[in-house]
Chains A and B, each alone.
Chain A
Amino acid sequence: MTKLNRDKAQPAGIKLLFAALLSSVALVTGGCSGGGERDENDGTLLNTITLPTDVVLNLACEDVGVWPENCVLDDPENPFATTPISEFDVNNPNDPFNKLELAARIPEGPSGAKARFYLWATALARRPSGENQYFTALALHELFDANSNVLNQDELVREQAKKAYRSVLENFFGGVAVRTCRVVDGCDPPSNFFIQLNERVADNLYRTDATGWRRLVPGDPRFAIELLIDWGFTYDPCTDLPACTNGVVSVGEF
């Protein structure tokens, strides 16, 4: 309050003050236009979303699905953009998590490949891990295989899948996925086992049988090894087929 104000002060007009006060109360109790409480006319109902079953993937940005790009979260076609995906927490191992459950409920085969991509890419954008990057790459690989008749898409998705695989090696080289072998799978008692992801990446690129899908590097499998060398890695393929557990991926050339 300035001195001038005090010196020039006049008695307050009671009517004026009441008007000001009532305006304030009206603002609070009624809210101003549009700024009050939301109702059903605001926004879009988001209770259910039909998962995509097609195999045409529109890339939201150049590196979608490759860490650290997270534009998938803003992709209007991503059904999982707002979905809370929880993961296994090694510090709180008893906490529930839903990522694998959601993944398991997406239809198998090409009709679920696009949804799978969005699920894993969303999980990757929110929490960088080798597992999320690997399964994003795997989904892209599946999409590449599934949409082979769509010529314009073919090369784009192939390159995207290769970038995603490469990211597993470059950003999450030591990454593993933990899976449980259940009684129904032949394990009694059930036990956990690790999947070495760098080995899976190399094998998926090297062998058609590893995925059952078209290889991303066509022609002689040695081309896949050359691609890995271009990326800075060496692959010594497995020999214990069909289990294929003794392949070795190394950093750099020996």
Chain B
Amino acid sequence: MAGISLTKRIQIAFGLFALALCLPQVSYAQSDVVTTYKDENGWQLRVNGEPYYMKGVVWGYTPRGQNYTYNLFGQSDDQIRKILDYDFGLMAEMGVNTIRTFTMIPPKWVTYIYEEHGIMSIINPLMGRYGYNINGKWVPFTDYSDPATREILKRDMQVFVERYKDTKGVLMFAFGNESNYGLSWSSFEIENLPEGEQNTAKARYLYSLFEEVIAAGKAIAPNQPFTIVNGDLQYIDLIQELMPSLDVLGSNVYRGKSFTDLWAVAEEKLDLPVAFFEFGSDAFNARSFQEDQLNQALILKDQWEEMYRKSYGMGEEGNSIGAFIFEWRDEWWKYLQIEQLDIQNTNASWANQGYEFDWAPGQNNMNEEWFGIVALGPTNSDGVSTARPRTAFYVMQQIFTKSPLELDRDGVDRLFAGINLELLDLKGEVGQLAAESAEDKRLLRLTGGRFEGEMVLKGAEKSIDEEGRDALEFSDGQSVFLDFAFEPNDKTKGQMTVNLLGNVADKQPLEFSYGDRGRPVSVLTEQFIQIGDEQVLVEVPVPFNDQERIEIYDFNATYEGENADIEAFYHTSRFHWGYEGDHWGLLRETTDIPGMDIWNAKAPYGVEFTGKGKFKNMTFLIGPEVYWGANPKAMFKYDFRLANFDWTFIHSHDIARRTTGVDTTDITSRQNSQTAITAEREFANGIKLELGGLFSSPDEIEESFERVDRAGNVFLDEIEFEDTLGFRGKITFPWQETYLKATHAGLVADAGTVHRTFGIMDPSRLPNDGMGNKQEVEAGMIVRFGDYMLMPRVLYRDNLVHANPFIEPRIENGILRPGTTPRDTDSDPFAVLGNREARSAELYLTYDPTGATQFYDWDNDWREDAKFAYNIGGTYTRFPTKTDSYLFFFDPLRINVPFGEGLAAEDVWAVSSRIVMNPNPSSRYIFRFIRGFEQSTGNPGGLNDGNADYFEFHWRAEWNRKHFFSGFYKNDAFGPYDFFRQFNLQYPHQVQMDYSMLLGGSGVQFGSIQDEQRATRVGIRAQYRSLQEGNETFEQDGDYIFQTILYFTYQF
């Protein structure tokens, strides 16, 4: 269960592990002495000599809207105390005396929980179960046979034990989590064994390492027992053989209402006390498709009754010493992990016949987001996520009134016979009804929203000089977002946001923002006016001030069907298929929603069908704009396995041509269709091979184009079948992650996005481009040494056909020399643009001593926890040839217009560095420097012949996670939006400074990007831009323009 679903949880756990390592060395002395005891009646756990039976739960705290990145112990002490008091107060009410958690609780809070609520903790480092940082590199599948890995794990576990050994409230040390289910690494040595022996061989490495860790740990902490968290009883013979130091057999067991022969087998093989670190049941009935508190409670009751009967002195095996129910609270993030975090999904992700109440052949019945014995409620006024006890809570409350060590056999029988399940179920149901009523769960309900207000004061040097103070312009803006959720039936649910505009502040040209759609516009209309005796028809501008005041901002809905899940999306983040075999990048990522909002773009917009059952591995996507800039399009993807390779087939077909763009960079594209096939395989020695073929733009076959040879002769040529084909191969070696990639793409074999190793945060400036007409080789490696990472990469690209020069046409004696002009992608089947010839090389050095918060994660600005981390490096690119002509979108005519000339051959370069500092837990500083020489992306003329020789400095400072000061200074750089570079609009100085303060709000805690986005905020922003001759408004505005924006966001 947890082993299946917790693939991401490790990141937070590891992060907290790292946090724990960074904490100051504080010893909490006087820890309890915990021992195991055995006599003829069985086993006991004893604390300071007193018998102790673990009445436990698996505890975690993730509020609605958060996921595995949520960091409870990154909150203020006051907030942590409120949360712990709430949760552990409720647990104490139920009778819980011990918890197990995936969150690494700092020692002082372990002691706090124990002293304030009487609940002890199991310290449970996961020991590489979901990957580990080995010498600065994140290894997703821990290789327990690797000597370096074993050494590091052993060392780190000892550090852990040392840190917690004297902490009051620590009951026991446990390692791993179903680690025997995660033996996924590959190695020559093991793969050469017969298949049936491979995992056993791997398991030997695992358990021998456990033994080494425990033996070393016991030398450090003699007062606590040591155990592991095994998956059921798998490899019990190896445990018996290899782990003489084991004190307790810890196991996660999901066998249904009975643990069957586990007690006897454990007694026979190991003769150790047994503790279940996970067991339980979900509270959702996949058959009736509704919350099912009673069956969850029934299963737990049966399981605890069996455990009580198997405990000391009951006349049976006597080896039960307690257990931990999985789990305390529901977790709403577990299904999609990063999406739909505000919705409790009812998707069942795996099947278990042991849970008869909702099992059906061929159907999944285990609902990951419903395992809590308390349901996850909304956040209260203290910012604490509330909990609603289920029937199981009340049943356990009755059971936990007694420990089996206080009872005899008859007492146990009486205890369980006395449980009035009907009454307790009624209690649970009433609680559910009350909670649902309180949340006012309806078909369509308002779930929240925000109000944004701003006041803008702006001016220009020339106006101020000529008109004095009155030249300053003042404007104000108001905008409201209302969030709605709906759930018309059990299988359909979704959300949408509606935006309403009041006034719209005038911030252009310094800032463009969402809501600019409501700016006043002037429309020329024909009117007759009286001049003397005559009526004269003239064109008169008429202002419109109230356009588009209300619009749907975003929408998302899902339907869980029998054969497919259907998702309709409108302006909500969508990810590419790069990790699903789309190596040609045909489906582009659309996640920069704020970036699109500036232009009021509404992508992505469409419907996706994800097959299930017999349609598994098929995905169909259709929509007007499935990613930003896409034509109305349908896409089909099919994954399959053949000849030991994973294959992916994708077909993409444009249904029509998009008729309009939203800004000058958003050119519309000709209709196209693409068919791609990719194959990939990872070999046991770690070598990974990717091969791919592409058939693109078949409609352009026989379309003519001009080209010019080296002698200057102009040819009229045609697209042929071969020009539509593309091929690529990539081989990646495990040694320093070295890769070599080769691509051939015919003239019109256009692919999509080229995925970067580290996504949007990748510092690479290699001129990757998905367009065809190229032969390209790229190579690179990632060299890791300690906490450093060095990334050299090179790219070499030639074109099959060069860009066309401009050759002036002439007529002499009735003979036309027609000349030629640079191509563009509207008038010609292809053009040389970003796919131009290039020779590029780069080198980046990264230092990040905390590998669990990857320096290039997209949200690293919020998550980086190293005291000091940085990167530095640069890219140099030689473009030896010109380009053809770029296009821009001309809105008045709704057409693309070519710039007419191509960019010149040029050498460009940039060096940059990003520095993150966390001098203490309450402050963070991030700096970014860039120095470069780069070309325009469209206009080849104007200032400096289309080249910018620039410098940029960006910063972001954060104090107490409430105060933020950010901004930038740019010297001779392009303006801040893409079109500035497209039109070669560059400025001597650009400055922005922004200070804001988060004021909190209902349910808001701080410390993550989600928190920051949900917070009520007040701030002030100042912007300045100096102008020079050649800038578009220099004559009108003078030497500079500036503005100040006072803004306020209220969340509700």
Chain A interface residues toward B at CB < 8 A:
1-12, 17, 20-21, 23-25, 27-29, 31-38, 40, 42-51, 53, 79-80, 82-85, 98, 102, 105-107, 115
Contacts and interface: CB of A to CB of B under 8 A. Distances in A.
A88 B727 CA distance: 45
B708 to A, nearest CB: 10
A28 B775 contact: yes
23 contacts: A3-B184, A10-B644, A11-B192, A17-B687, A17-B731, A20-B729, A21-B740, A25-B777, A34-B721, A35-B725, A35-B744, A37-B800, A40-B709, A42-B715, A43-B716, A44-B716, A45-B713, A45-B715, A48-B817, A49-B815, A51-B814, A79-B816, A105-B812
Please provide the 3 A-B residue pairs with the shortest distance between their CB atoms, ordered closest to farther: A24-B729, A12-B683, A43-B717
Interface string B790-810: 000000000011000011111
Contacts of B594: none
A81 B204 CA distance: 76
Interface in B713-762: 713-718, 720-723, 725, 727-731, 740, 742-744, 746
Interface string B894-925: 00000000000000000000000000000000
A42 B816 contact: no
B339 interface: no
A178 B812 CA distance: 25
Q: Is the interface of B mostly helix, strand, loop or mixed?
A: strand
A122 B812 CA distance: 19
Contact of A48 (B184, B687, B688, B815): B815
A2 B645 CA distance: 10
B527 to A, nearest CB: 16
Contacts of A98: 808-809
A84 B816 CA distance: 12
A43 B729 contact: no
A32 B725 contact: yes
Contact of A83 (B723, B743, B801, B816): B816
Contacts of A27: 727, 729, 742, 744
A107 B707 contact: no
Given A25-B777, A34-B722, A105-B812, A20 B800 contact: no
A11 B685 contact: yes
B787 interface: no
B723 A11 contact: no
Interface string B924-949: 00000000000000000000000000
B811 interface: yes
A122 B775 CA distance: 36
Interface string B674-688: 000000111111011
A210 B452 CA distance: 67
B776 interface: yes
Nearest to B807: A84
Contacts of B188: 11
B706 interface: yes
B641 interface: yes
A28 B776 contact: yes
Contacts of B817: 47-49
B691 interface: yes
Interface stretch (B372-380, B818-826, B988-996): B818-826
A11 B684 contact: yes
A50 B815 CA distance: 5
Contacts, number: 169
A147 to B, nearest CB: 19
Interface in B419-461: none
Given A10-B684, A11-B188, A35 B811 contact: no
B689 interface: yes
Given A21-B740, A27-B729, A50-B815, 10 more contacts: A5-B644, A9-B682, A34-B720, A35-B722, A43-B716, A45-B714, A49-B817, A51-B816, A79-B818, A83-B816
B777 A84 contact: no
Contact of B818 (A34, A42, A82): A82
Nearest to A4: B641
B350 to A, nearest CB: 14
Contacts of A82: 706, 716, 818, 820
Contact of B689 (A3, A20, A36, A43): A20
A6 B740 contact: no
Contact of A2 (B641, B721, B816): B641
A102 B811 contact: yes
Contact of B819 (A32, A43, A83): A83
B186 interface: yes
B646 interface: yes
Contact of A43 (B685, B715, B811): B715
A40 B711 CA distance: 11
B809 A85 contact: yes
Interface string B682-709: 1111011101000000000000001101
A80 B816 contact: yes
B191 interface: yes
A32 to B, nearest CB: 7
A50 B776 CA distance: 41
Most buried by A among B683, B740, B800: B683
Contacts of B723: 34-35
Contact of B646 (A1, A48, A84): A1
A12 B641 contact: no
Contacts of A44: 715-717
Contacts of B707: 38, 43
A199 B332 CA distance: 76
A210 to B, nearest CB: 27
Contacts of A49: 815-818
A218 B721 CA distance: 54
A64 to B, nearest CB: 19
Nearest to B720: A34
A42 B777 CA distance: 26
Nearest to A52: B814
Interface string B808-850: 1111101111111100000000000000000000000000000
A115 B687 CA distance: 64
B786 to A, nearest CB: 28
A143 B801 CA distance: 40
Given A1-B680, A29-B775, A37-B801, A51 B811 contact: yes
A106 B811 contact: yes
Nearest to A18: B731
Nearest to A6: B184
Given A9-B684, A12-B687, A84-B806, A107 B814 contact: yes
A36 B641 CA distance: 32
B811 A20 contact: no
Interface string B651-688: 00000000000000000000000000000111111011
A10 B807 CA distance: 58
Contacts of B818: 46, 49, 79-80, 82-83
A92 to B, nearest CB: 10
Given A37-B801, A40-B709, A84-B820, A51 B682 contact: no
A12 B688 CA distance: 9
B715 A46 contact: yes
Contacts of A28: 742-744, 775-777
A6 B811 CA distance: 68
B471 to A, nearest CB: 28
Contacts of B808: 84, 98
A172 B801 CA distance: 40
A32 B722 contact: yes
Given A31-B775, A32-B744, A46-B714, A9 B683 contact: yes
A84 B809 contact: yes
A48 B689 contact: no
Contacts of B722: 32-35
Contacts of A45: 713-715
Contact of B800 (A33, A36, A79): A36
B742 A24 contact: yes
A35 B714 contact: no
Given A10-B644, A38-B801, A102-B809, A32 B715 contact: no
